[in-house]
Every structure is written in structure tokens, then in C-alpha cells.
Structure 1
């Protein structure tokens, strides 16, 4: 850190951004966020965590020596573009689920405004204890950025000094975790539509124990976040394509999550209803 009382800017105090901000607090920083025109949920999270509200992104840029972006993947470039336009001169950490190529594009954007860029990614859910969730960082300034979050609930890991490495790790990891959830949901929707779900579940219980339960967990865990995973599947597919690997499955996973995006943040979902909705033509407006 460059001062005894550093100020960290948090772009979004969401379910994951809030513990990131708390990690900065635990590491000795003050945390600011733009509080104007935000949802009641974000406001409650930020205020209860001790974050300081500012009125505009101009004020955030003026006060902070590090800004970290934790937002849905589709918004990452636009957030960076706004911060770059304000000529932020500190450290800019993008911790979003984006491809290495998108990360490098964001780095070029913020560096054009005078910032130093750190590539980041998060693996694991919002932490409630240490040892469950990692914040990965890469790039020449990664070790410096690590200091701002070292004492929170995240294990903060410097991958290397190459911009894009932290994002590549996230893409490889989520390609399996969220991609396989989409595959399971698609398979069960096929079985429902063809009238063989009971037979499939019986076969799974015999030959692949636990798979039926995992598909249920996909409904509970991934369907309410499907709206967010659309962009992540796009980024994974783009990463595969840029690496000269087949990208078709994750384009399909993108379509699965698009069809389920209307279930945003819903709980107590009915498995049969979700699977039936998945088999309908895509409108991006499934759910209630």
C-alpha cells in the first residue's frame, strides 16, 4: 500500500463484492462505493459493512488509490471505460469472470487513462470463513494489489506477472463447474420432454450415484444466477476459440442459461417446471 490510510474503491457491493470490500477493511483500508441510485440491497450491504458512500464515480476516482471491479461479466468493459475516462491514476483490479483477451482490452483501456492494471478472478462462493474462496491476481502489479486484501476471508494468490493468467484460470475452472451444470440441466430437460426422466434417474442411481442430486443442486444453485452466467459462458467460449479449441459446447451452455434467465434470484424452484421451461424456445424471459 502506498499510504498508512489507503482508500479502496469498490464498484459493486454485491454478494461477492461486499466480502472483497470487507477484506480491504480488514487489511487496513477504508472502502468507498458510489451510493447514488443503487438498490436497497446494495445500500444495506454497504452500510452494514462500514463502507463509505460517495456521490459519483468522479469522487470515487479522486479519493481512491485502488479500485476493484466486481460486476457481471457483460458490464466489465463499460465500467472500465468510465473509470478510464475519469483518468484514474491508481491501481485498477478487474476481478470479473472474463476472458484473458477481454482482460487485456480492459487493461489497455484503464492504462490509457493513467492507471496500472491488475488482472483478477474469484473462485469459490462468497466466503464466510477462510480457506473456501480464492482471489487470484496476475500482472506486474499483482503483488502490490495483494496487500490490499491479504487479511480478509479470501486466500489471495498471485498467479504470475502476466496479464490474463488469472482470467484464464477462472475460465478453465468455470468451464467445468458452470458448464457441467448447464449440461446436466439440458440432459434432464431432454429426458422430461421425451418422457424418460424416471428411467434416466433410475439408471443414474444404479450406474452414476449422486448425479441426480447434482442436477437438483444445479437447479437450486445455478438457475437463479442464469442471467449472470450468460455472459460468463460467452467469455469462456471466446477463450476456447482464441486458444484454437472447440467452443461449441459453451455456446450451447450460454443458450441454456439464456432460456433460464427469467428465474433471476428466485428460490424454491420446482425442478419439473424449470426443465419444461428449458425445452421451450428461447425468449430470455422464462420464470415468473
Structure 2
């Protein structure tokens, strides 16, 4: 039986870890400093608590990091400080250069590093996200085996560390930024009383995000995490010599929604916050 350590069981991390557990793995987690909601999720999914990170690194065959991107390197350093020398899977939305730094930190402790990215909603009976993987072939096979037959579709990529991160941020730079852009467009139309006409135009294209106004509140509630991800997407674009303005701008837009973290706002409040929320950059 594989023993997996999860850092940390948020809504995505807990659901992914639960799929590994359903496939026969024991899943460890560290309760210290975690919120009540995180503890509730861990208990609901049957995760095994450990006294601290050092205990996890002693017991885990594999550690999966799924945390806000700004914390990814700090988490990696903490694991490396415990002299962890088995498989470390970084599933965070970080730029390829950041992933290379994380890999270098962990290789010094003897870890085998896998670059990973989760694309899609948390796994469930009705949802099956893809877990893209890049890095050493033997380690990729171990991760694929861990999730075999589960709702997590593990898909190896060729090309080594950085490929999974690049794919994640390539997708995010369009998918998440376009959601924010649609909300801003709707807000402008709403200011001038032409939102119905705008939606009529948008609904002529059935794939347009502009028609999905019910999704804007979900974007706003998640923007505390999506905003930093857009910054990482901007870094990835800059590394490739491409314009990063839209990703940076999306982060600024999402910064106006930071006060709506983990809430369930209605559409009117979301639009109001676009006008009056915190200014997190140049306007």
C-alpha cells in the first residue's frame, strides 16, 4: 500500500487525495495550523493525521503539494529541510521557472520531483479532472498507478520538469482571464443599461463566457487564489518573450474581489466590487 502525504487538503487537495485513498493508498495530512473547514474535509475523506511535517516525511512514499502558488516554494523548502528523499509531486499553478527552482530545492535533499498540474474541477462522482505530469519516467509511472481507476485522469507528458506547469498556465491564462474579462464587459454594459442587449449578442455564440453570468460570483469568490495564479501566468508569458499585459490586468481585476474570499456573493455585489473593491495595481 502506498502512503501519500497531502500538503494541504483544501477543496482540491482533499478531493484528489480522497481518490488516492479510494484506490487503496493511506493518505497523511498535518492538522497543525489548519482551519476548521480543512479539518472537517480531512475527517470527511478519511485522511490520517500526523503530528507534524517531519512525521509525514518519515512515513510517506510520496508527497503531493496542492497549495496557493505563492506558498509553493516555502512548502517545498520545509519538506526539503526534513531531508525528504522520495517522490515529491508539486501540483501548484506556478510558472516553469518557479517549478525549476522548486525542483532544485528538493533535489538537494534527495527527492525525486514530479511537475504536476490539475486541470478541471475537484474530482467527484460526476467530475473527472486531468492530472498532467512531467519529470522522471519512473516517478510518473508511480503517480499514474496511484490514481489508476479513479476519477483523477493522470496523464504523463514528455519533456521533463516545467512541461506540466507550462500547460497549466497556458490554459489558465486564457480560461481564467477570459472569465474576468467577461465580467468587466458585463459591468460596463450594466452601467449603461444595455446588459440585456449585450447578453443577446453573447448568446448568439453558445460558447461565449459572456452568457454565463451565474459564474461571475464563483470567479469573484475564488479570486484570492486566481489572482496570484494570473501573476504566475504573466511570469510564464514573459519567460517566453510574449506579452503578459492581459494576465497582469486580470490579476488587478481579481484584486478588486479579494474581500469576497470564500463567500457566496450575488451578481449585483460582484459588479459593485469591480467598481469599489481594493485597487491592487495601476488603473
Partner residue of 2:257?
260
Q: Secondary structure at the match of 2:11?
A: coil
Residue deviations 1:152-186 (CA, integer Å, cap 9, x gap): 21111111241111111111111111110111122
Specify which of 9, 24, 36 is matched with residue 13 of structure 1.
9
| Structure 2 Cα separation of the partners of residues 19 and 109 of structure 1 | 27
Which residue does the alignment assign to 1:149? 147
How far does the alpha carbon of each residue in 1:71-100 deviate from its partner, in whole angstroms, 9 at most, with x for none? 111111111111011110010000111111
TM-score by length of 1: 0.90
CA distance in 1, matches of 2:236, 2:201: 36
Per-residue Cα deviation, 1:179-211 (whole angstroms, up to 9, x for no partner) = 10111122223334xx32x32431440465355
**Residue in structure 2 matched with residue 282 of structure 1 by the alignment:** 278
Q: 1:87 matched to which residue of 2?
A: 83
From 244, 248, 267, the counterpart of 2:245: 248
* Pairing 1:185–2:183 present: yes
Match of 2:200 in 1: 205
In structure 2, what is the equivalent of residue 169 of structure 1? Answer: 167
Q: How many positions carry a matched residue from both structures?
A: 276
- Map Cα deviations across residues 122-167 of structure 1 (whole Å, 9 max, x no partner): 0100121366311111111322322222232111111124111111
**In structure 1, distance between residues paired with 2:36 and 2:74:** 23
Deviations 1:237-286 (A, max 9, x none): 1111101100001100000111111101111x2323322221236356xx
Computed over aligned residues only, the root mean square deviation of the Cα atoms, in angstroms, reads 1.9
Distance 1:205 1:212, change over 3 A: farther
Following TM superposition, the consecutive aligned residue runs of length 4 or more in structure 1 with deviations greater than 6 angstroms are none
Q: Take 2:133 and 2:273, find their aligned partners in 1: how far apart are those partners?
A: 39
Candidates 101, 118, 122, aligned match of 2:114: 118
Structure 1 unaligned segments of length 5 or more: list them. Answer: none
Work out whether residues 234 and 250 of structure 1, in 8 Å CA contact, stay in contact via their aligned partners in 2: yes
TM score, norm. by length of structure 2: 0.91
| Counterpart among 218, 221, 231 of residue 221 in structure 1 | 218
Do the aligned partners of residues 82 and 202 (structure 1) sit closer, same or farther apart at CA in structure 2, a change above 3 Å counting? Answer: same
